[in-house]
Structure 1
Amino acid sequence: MKNKIITLSLFVSLSFAGFHSNAQAVKSTKLQETPKSLSSTYDTEIDKLVAQMTLEEKIGMLHGNTMFSSGGVERLGIPELKMADGPLGVREEISRNNWSAAGWTNDFATYYPAAGALAATWDTGLAGLFGSSIGQEMRARNKDMLLSPAINIVRTPLGGRTYEYMTEDPFLNKKMAVSLIVGLQNNDVMACVKHYAANNQETNRDFVDVLIDERTLREIYLPAFEAAVKEANAYSIMGAYNKFRGDYLCENDYMLNKILRDEWGFQGVVVSDWAAVHSTVKSLKNGLDIEMGTPKPFKDFFFADKLIAAAKAGEVSEAEIDIHVKRILKVLFQVKAIGGKDRITGSIATEAHYQDAYKIAAESIVLLKNEKNALPLQLDGVKTIAVIGNNATKKNALGGFGAGVKTKREITPLEGLKNRLPNSIKINYAEGYLERYEKKNKGNLGNITANGPVTIDQLDAAKLQEAIEAAKNSDVAIVFAGSNRDYETEASDRSSLKLPFGQEELIQKIVAVNPRTIVVMVAGAPFDIDAVSKKTSTLIWSWFNGSEGGNALADVLLGKVNPSGKLPWTMPNKIEDSSAHATNSFPGDKSVTYSEGILVGYRWFDTKKVTPLYPFGYGLSYTSFAFNNVKTDKKIYSEDETIQVSVTVKNIGKVEGKEVVQVYTSKSDSKISRAAQELKGFQKVDVKPGDSCIVPIHIPVKELAYYNVETKKWTVEPGKYTLKIGNSSRDIKQEVVVIIK
C-alpha cells in the first residue's frame, strides 16, 4: 500500500502552463502565492493629474458615460474605465448608449460553468483557474473590470440567481471567492465583487429593506466580502439594489464607510449596481465612487449634472470629489490601464480556455444515486440508447435576464454523447417535454412575472408517446431534465420547487417502460426531486456547465471521469423545510426580516434535526473511500495558534477517484446559541485504488470565533470543541476533541 501526504496552503500555487499554448498566457496564469495589494507607488502622479482636472472632468469620471464604462479625461491620458459582465464568461459587446448588441464579430468568448458548478468542485485551485482564464479573456477584449464574482449567500432555494451564486455556507464561499479573485486580478483586471450586501432575493430587490441582526450579518452574510477585501485585495465592490436597515446600500454609511473602509481597510472603488442610486450628496458622502445605470441619459445620473450643481452650490466640496477620483485613478494605475507598458494582452475563446471550462465542469458533476452500480455505463451488449428531454439539446450560454455569453462552442448533452459513444451505438432522441410558458415577458426587469415564469406543465401527447417508444426500443434510456436559464433568471425568484414542464410525469412514464433509465438533472438551484429520486435507481446532478459541459457530462456517464462534485447547498425534501420558509420570512414585502438568524442552509437542517433529501457537501463516487486515523498535532491550543488536523484517506474501490475531506466543528456546551456544526476546513484529494494519503487540514483557532455583539469583536469561546471529519454534513466518519484555552 502506497502512502503519500497531501500538502495544503491558503493559496494553491498552480502553474497552468500545460493548459495554455502561448507565452503570454503561460506568463499570466501562474497563480501568485500572495495577492497584489493596491500600491501607493502612483500617489504623487495621481495628485498631479487631479490638480490639472476641471470640476466637470472629475465628475465625468464618477458616472457611466456608456452602458459599461465610466468617463476618462482624454487630454490627460486618462482612459475610460471599461467594464464587462462576466459570471459565465465575458459578455458580448453592448452598444454605448443602449442595451442592444454592438454587432461585433470578434467578441465571441468562452462560456464557463456557473458559480454554483464551480463551488460544487470544492477545489480552490479550480477557482483560481477560473479567475485566471476569464482574466485572460477580459484582457483580450481590452476590459479593466469584471463585474464578478457574485458571492451572495444562497438563503432560499427559490432564488432566481442561485445558479450565479456559490453556496449557502460562508466558509466555502470565502475560500472559493478568494482564489477566484486572486487568479483574475493577477491578469491586470479588477474584480468587482457583488452584490454588497444581503442581496439574497430577486423579489422586490429594488427597494426591499433587509433586516438582519448584527451577529448573523457578520457570521453568515459578510465573511466572503471581508475575505475578498482582506485576503484577496479585491480592487472593486458593487453596491446592491436593496436597502439595509433603512438605507439603500449605495448610500449606506454603515456598510460602505464604517465596515468596508474603516473596519476592513478597503482602498478600491465602490461601483453601483445598474440604476441602484437614489441620491447625489448622500451617496457620494456615504461611500459610493461610480454610478452606473440605465436607461436615462447619462447626464441625468445623480453623479452627473446633479453633482456638478451640488458642488457649485457648496453642498459637497471639491476636496470630497477628489477623494473618489483618486480612488478610481489608483485602480486604473494598478491594472496598468494608465502607463502600463507591460500590461497582459490576453487571449480569448482558445482551445486552452475551453479545456479550462471542461476541467471545472468535469469536477462539478454530482452523483446523487447509483443503485446496482448502473454507472458508469457499461456498453457491452448495448446497441441503442434513448436520449430523452428538452435539456438534452437546450443551450444556456444565452437566456434569461442578465449576463450571458456569446460563444461559438456550447456542447449540449446530446452532442457530448454523440462525441463520446462509438459509432456502432444508435442514439434514439426524443424531446419528451416542451419548454412552454403561460406568460413570459422576457427582458423586462422585475416583470418576468410576479413570482417567476409561469410554466405550462401538461405534456404534449405526441411528444410523450415518441419518448415512450424511444425508451421501449432502446437498451438504455437517459432522461435529461431539470431547468434552464430562461426559467432560473435574474430579476425573478421561482414560485415553487416543482419541476417545470411536466417532467416528473415524463420521468415516471420512461422508468415504467425501461428499468435501465438514468436521470440527469441540469439546473443551477434545488428542485423538488423527491419523487424522481424514489422512482429511479440512478440520478446525476449537473449544472449550466459551460462550453464543454456536454463532453464533461458524457465522460462522467461513461466512466472516463469519476464524479467528484459535492452539493454546495442543501437539497430539501420540500420548500417548507428550508429556514427562510420554515420561519415564513421570505420574501417579505417592503421589508424582510431574516428570522432564522445564523441557521442558514445545513445549519438549520442539522440544528433543528430536519432530514434533507440530499445534504450539503454530499456526492457519490464510482469508488469508495475509508477515513481513518484522525488526529490533531496536539490537544490544547491558544487563540493565536492553528489546529493541524489530519486524516488518512484510503481508496478501497477499484478505480481512481477524488474525495473531498470536510471538517465541521461543534461546541455542545456553548454559552451562546450556535449551529449544531459549521464547516471550517476542506480539501480535495486524488487517490488511486489501493492507495492511501494523509490529508492535513489547517484550521486557525480564530476560525472558531463568534461575533460578540456586546463587545463588537470576534470572540473565541474557551473550552472543548469537537472536530467532525466526513464527506458530507450528514456523513461524519470520525471525530476528535480539542481544547481551546
Structure 2
Amino acid sequence: MKNKIISLSAAFAFVVFTSCKNETKSEGSDLAQTEHQSKALGSEFDSEINKLVAQMTLEEKIGMLHGTSMFSTGAVKRLGIPELKMADGPLGVREEISRDNWAPAGRTDDFATYYPAGGGLAATWNGDMAYTFGNSLGQEMRARDKDMLLSPAINIVRSPLGGRTYEYMSEDPFLNKKIAVPLIVGLQDNDVMACVKHFAANNQETNRDFVDVQIDERTLREIYLPAFEAAVKEGHAYSVMGAYNKFRGEYLCENDYMLNKILRDEWGFKGVVVSDWAAVHSTVKSLKSGLDIEMGTPKPFNEFFLADKLTAAVKNKEISEAEIDIHVKRILHVLFQVKAMGGKDRAKGSIATEAHYQDAYKIASEAIVLLKNDNNALPLKLDGVKSIAVIGNNATKKNALRGFGAGVKTKREITPLEGLQNRLPSSIKINYAEGYLERYEEKNKGNLGNVVATGPITIDKLDPAKVLEAVEAAKKSDVAIIFAGSNRDYETEASDRQSLKLPFGQEELIQKVLAVNPRTIVVMIAGAPLDIDAVSKKTSALVWSWFNGSEGGNALADVLLGKVNPSGKLPWTMPKKLMDSPAHATNSFPGGKEVKYAEGILVGYRWFDTKNIDPLYPFGFGLSYTTFAFDNAKSDKTSYGPSETISVSVDVKNTGKTDGKEVVQLYASKSDSKISRASKELKGFKKVLVKAGDLNTVTIEVPVKELAYYDVATKKWTVEPGKYTLKLGNSSRDIKKEITVTIQ
C-alpha cells in the first residue's frame, strides 16, 4: 500500500491512503423532511435500489429494519438482498454467538486478532497507527464475512470512573477525532461499514438505560460532538449507533434534534442509524426521528418496535409506507456501498495472521507510557543480573474475553510474564509470585452487567501466604517487576467503578516489595486512571500499559528491556484524587434520573489547567529513554484571515543517546477573550522520530477555523478576532515555546 502525505491538516500528517484493499499497512421528522434528507443518498445505485424497493412487500421491507438474529437484519433472498451482518467490536472481531441468544456458537473458525483497546490506541498519538488498526481489523471483518463493525467508540472520557474509559479514546475532542477518522477510513477501505458509537453524550454506565443528560449547547458542540462530526464529514462513516440514554428529555434513538437536525440536516450524514441493543422505546416516533435499524434482546425478534408493531402502524395509517421506503433505501445504499450487493469484487480479507499480530504489536509498543524513570532505572540493564522477580496477578491475567461486553476469542494473548520469558536471556532466572488475588464480594458479583449499580466490590485484604511468596521472590532476585493495576473484569461495560483506589490490596503489596528490593519497577496495566499517587512517590520507575492486545506482553517486555523506546502519551488526565476531576468537583456524576454536566466546556485538562489544579500526570504526558529540546518555533506569518491556515514550525532535537519519538503538541490560548474559555486547548500535534543527536523540523498546520467557538446566539461557529498564543510542548503542562499570532 502506498501513502502520500498531502497536508498536515490541523494536527498531524493526514494521509491519503490508496490501493489499501487486502494489504496490511506497515506502519421525529415529517415525511417531507425525511425525503429531503434521503436526497443526500443520490448515487450510482439509485435506479437499482428503486427497482428493488418497488418489488418488495411491506413485510420484507420491515424485516430489514430490525434484527432477525442477534447480529443481523432480515434478508430478502428472492431479490438477492442479503442480511446486514454486524459484529462487535472495539478489541477485534467478536466470536460467533448463537442466532437467537448470547451463548457462544461453539465454532472453531472464529478466532481473531486481539487489538489494543481504544485508550491504548489514542495513547499512540499517531494517525498512522489508527489507520493500521482500522485497516487490519477491516480485513478480519471481511474474512468473517461481516458487513458492519460496531465500532469505534468515541465518547468523551468525562469521569475517570467510567466503565468504558478503556474503550473510549480521550477526554479531548481534537485528539478523539484525529484518531477516529483514520481508523474509520482504514476500516471502510476494506468494504466494511464503521458504526460510530454511541451518539451521543453517552459518558457513563450508571443508569445508562434511562439517565437524562443535560448539556448546554456550546458544551455539546465544542466537546461532545466534534469527533462524531469529523467521523461523518471527514471519515464518511457509513453508520452511527444511537445511545441508550436520554438527551434533553428524549431517548437518543428517537431524538429528532440529534438524529435528524444535527446528524442528517447539518452534517449531511448519508448512512444508517442503528440502535444500541434494546435501546428503542417507540415505533413511529423512533423512525420519524431518524432511526433506521432496531437491534437488541431479549424478546422475540418479531416483538421489536420496528417489527410487527411497525407493520400494524402502517396498516393503521400511523406512518406511511413511503416513509418505510426511505429507511429501506438507506440500508440498501450502504449494502451497495460495501459491495455486499451489486456484483462488484469485494475485499476477501484475512484473519489472525502473523501480519495482523504484528499490527497489534506496533500499536501496543507505541501506546505504552513511561510515567517515571528516576536515575534511568529503565531500560533494565541486565549486566550482572541473574534473577528477576515477576510479581502480580496481572503478570498472567488474560483480558481478551473478560468483562461484560465485546471481547475477542484469540489464539494469541501474550501476557507480561510470557513476554519476559520470550525476551530475557535463558541465563536469567524468573521468580514468579502471584502476590495478590483478584477477588470480589459474592453478594456484589452479580451486579456485573447491572447498569443501575456501581461496579464490582473488590476484596482488598491480601492473602498472607501470597504476600510472603512475593516478598521472598523479591528478596532473592536482583530486580523485581510488579504488574499491578486493573483488568477487564473490574473495568467493564455496564458498570462504573466505585473509586480510583487500586483494587485487591495492591498498594500494600507494592510497599512490602519495595521495602525488600529497592530495584523494583512498577507496571500498571489498566484502561482508566487509578490513584497511584503513593506508588508514584515511592518507586523509581513507573510504566503505564493498557489492555494491549495479542502482542501486549511482548511489546511491554521490549519497552522494559530497551528494544523499544517508549513514546506513548496519556490521552486523559491522571488526577491526584477523584474530587479534583471536574465531574466530581462539581458533584455532577453520576446524577440520578438526570445528570447535568455542570463543568461545561471545562472537561479534563481544560478544568485542571484553567483552575490551576495540579494533576498527578497531565494530559499528553509521557517520558522517553532520551531527551528532546524544542527551538526556533515560528509561524509562517503573524496575521491571518478567517479562512487561512496557520503553519507553525519548530526544531525538535534529540539531545540524548537513544533514537526516540516525540509528540509535539500545539495548544491555543486567548487571554483577552470576550467569552469564557479554557486556559488552553489542543489544536494540533505530530509524532516524529528523531535519531540520537539529530534535529528534525516539525510543521503543524492549524486552520484558523479550528480556533472557533460555538456562538449559541447565532448558532454558528465563530472565530473571535484578536491575538492568540500558540503553545508548543510535550504535555498540557510542559509548554516549551510560545508564538503569538493575530486573527483578523
The answer on 1:345 being equivalent to 2:348 is: yes
Shift in Å, 1:340: 3.5
Deviations 1:502-559 (A, max 9, x none): 0000000000000000000000000000000011010000000000000000000000
Q: Which residue of 2 aligns with 1:126?
A: 129
Q: Which residue of 2 aligns with 1:21?
A: none
Quick check: 2:648–2:700 contact (8 Å CA) kept in 1? Answer: yes
Shift in Å, 1:30: 9.3
- Show the 5 A alignment for 1:153-168: 153-168=156-171
Give the one of 181, 185, 192 matched to 1:182: 185
Shift in Å, 1:15: 7.7
Separation (CA, whole Å) in 1 of partners of 2:403 and 2:736 = 42
Letter in 2 for 1:8: L
The answer on 1:91 being equivalent to 2:94 is: yes
Q: Please, which runs of 5 or more residues in structure 2 have no aligned partner?
A: 28-39
Shift in Å, 1:442: 6.1
Q: Which residue of 1 aligns with 2:31?
A: none
Quick check: 2:6–2:16 contact (8 Å CA) kept in 1? Answer: no
Quick check: 2:447–2:453 contact (8 Å CA) kept in 1? Answer: no
The answer on 1:732 being equivalent to 2:729 is: no
Q: 1:444 to 1:295 in 2, by over 3 A?
A: farther
Name the SS for the 1:512 alignment partner. helix
Q: 1:416 to 1:14 in 2, by over 3 A?
A: farther
Separation (CA, whole Å) in 1 of partners of 2:452 and 2:337 = 43
Give the one of 415, 419, 422 matched to 1:412: 415
Name the SS for the 1:238 alignment partner. strand
Q: Which residue of 2 aligns with 1:609?
A: 612
- Show the 5 A alignment for 1:641-660: 641-660=644-663
Letter in 2 for 1:185: Q
The answer on 1:568 being equivalent to 2:565 is: no
The answer on 1:233 being equivalent to 2:230 is: no
Deviations 1:674-722 (A, max 9, x none): 0000000000000001110100000000000000000000000000000
Q: Which residue of 2 aligns with 1:324?
A: 327
Quick check: 2:207–2:451 contact (8 Å CA) kept in 1? Answer: no
Give the one of 672, 675, 680 matched to 1:672: 675
Shift in Å, 1:617: 0.1
Q: Which residue of 1 aligns with 2:281?
A: 278
Shift in Å, 1:335: 0.1
Shift in Å, 1:445: 6.6
Deviations 1:580-605 (A, max 9, x none): 00000000000000000000000000
Name the SS for the 2:85 alignment partner. strand
- In the superposition, the TM-score normalised over structure 2's length comes to 0.96
Give the one of 373, 376, 381 matched to 2:376: 373
Q: 1:739 to 1:176 in 2, by over 3 A?
A: same
Q: 1:440 to 1:11 in 2, by over 3 A?
A: farther
Give the one of 537, 540, 560 matched to 1:537: 540
Letter in 2 for 1:639: P
Separation (CA, whole Å) in 2 of partners of 1:340 and 1:250 = 33
Give the one of 618, 624, 646 matched to 1:621: 624
Q: Which residue of 1 aligns with 2:467?
A: 464
Give the one of 96, 101, 104 matched to 2:104: 101
Separation (CA, whole Å) in 2 of partners of 1:342 and 1:30 = 24
Quick check: 1:437–1:456 contact (8 Å CA) kept in 2? Answer: yes
Q: 1:128 to 1:39 in 2, by over 3 A?
A: farther
Shift in Å, 1:25: 2.5
- Show the 5 A alignment for 1:39-50: 40-50=43-53
Separation (CA, whole Å) in 2 of partners of 1:739 and 1:99 = 58
Q: 1:51 to 1:38 in 2, by over 3 A?
A: closer
Name the SS for the 2:222 alignment partner. helix
Quick check: 1:441–1:448 contact (8 Å CA) kept in 2? Answer: no
- Show the 5 A alignment for 1:5-154: 8=8, 11-13=14-16, 25-26=22-23, 40-154=43-157
Query: Paired residues, what number?
Result: 725
Name the SS for the 1:437 alignment partner. coil
Separation (CA, whole Å) in 2 of partners of 1:356 and 1:501 = 33
Shift in Å, 1:439: 2.9
Shift in Å, 1:341: 3.1
Q: 1:223 to 1:113 in 2, by over 3 A?
A: same
Separation (CA, whole Å) in 2 of partners of 1:39 and 1:573 = 53
Name the SS for the 1:727 alignment partner. strand
Letter in 2 for 1:423: S
Shift in Å, 1:11: 2.6
Deviations 1:220-258 (A, max 9, x none): 000000000011100000000000000000000000000
Q: Which residue of 2 aligns with 1:34?
A: none
Q: 1:15 to 1:41 in 2, by over 3 A?
A: closer
**Identity within the alignment, %:** 81
Q: Which residue of 1 aligns with 2:30?
A: none
The answer on 1:389 being equivalent to 2:425 is: no
Separation (CA, whole Å) in 2 of partners of 1:254 and 1:93 = 36
Separation (CA, whole Å) in 2 of partners of 1:16 and 1:484 = 38
Give the one of 629, 639, 643 matched to 1:640: 643
Name the SS for the 1:328 alignment partner. helix
Give the one of 238, 244, 248 matched to 2:247: 244
Q: Which residue of 2 aligns with 1:209?
A: 212
Separation (CA, whole Å) in 1 of partners of 2:311 and 2:18 = 49
Separation (CA, whole Å) in 1 of partners of 2:455 and 2:423 = 37
Quick check: 2:22–2:190 contact (8 Å CA) kept in 1? Answer: no
Quick check: 1:171–1:223 contact (8 Å CA) kept in 2? Answer: yes
Deviations 1:554-574 (A, max 9, x none): 000000000000000000000
Separation (CA, whole Å) in 1 of partners of 2:312 and 2:50 = 24
Shift in Å, 1:86: 1.3
Q: What do you get for the CA RMSD once the two structures are aligned?
A: 1.6
Q: Please, which runs of 5 or more residues in structure 1 have no aligned partner?
A: 18-23, 32-36
Q: Which residue of 2 aligns with 1:197?
A: 200
Quick check: 2:7–2:14 contact (8 Å CA) kept in 1? Answer: no
Name the SS for the 1:25 alignment partner. coil
Name the SS for the 2:263 alignment partner. helix
Separation (CA, whole Å) in 2 of partners of 1:46 and 1:705 = 41
Quick check: 1:118–1:364 contact (8 Å CA) kept in 2? Answer: yes
Separation (CA, whole Å) in 2 of partners of 1:439 and 1:633 = 63
Separation (CA, whole Å) in 1 of partners of 2:661 and 2:152 = 26
Name the SS for the 1:454 alignment partner. coil
Name the SS for the 1:606 alignment partner. helix
Name the SS for the 1:511 alignment partner. helix
- In the superposition, the TM-score normalised over structure 1's length comes to 0.96
Letter in 1 for 2:353: T
Shift in Å, 1:38: 6.9
Separation (CA, whole Å) in 1 of partners of 2:446 and 2:144 = 25
Give the one of 208, 218, 223 matched to 1:220: 223
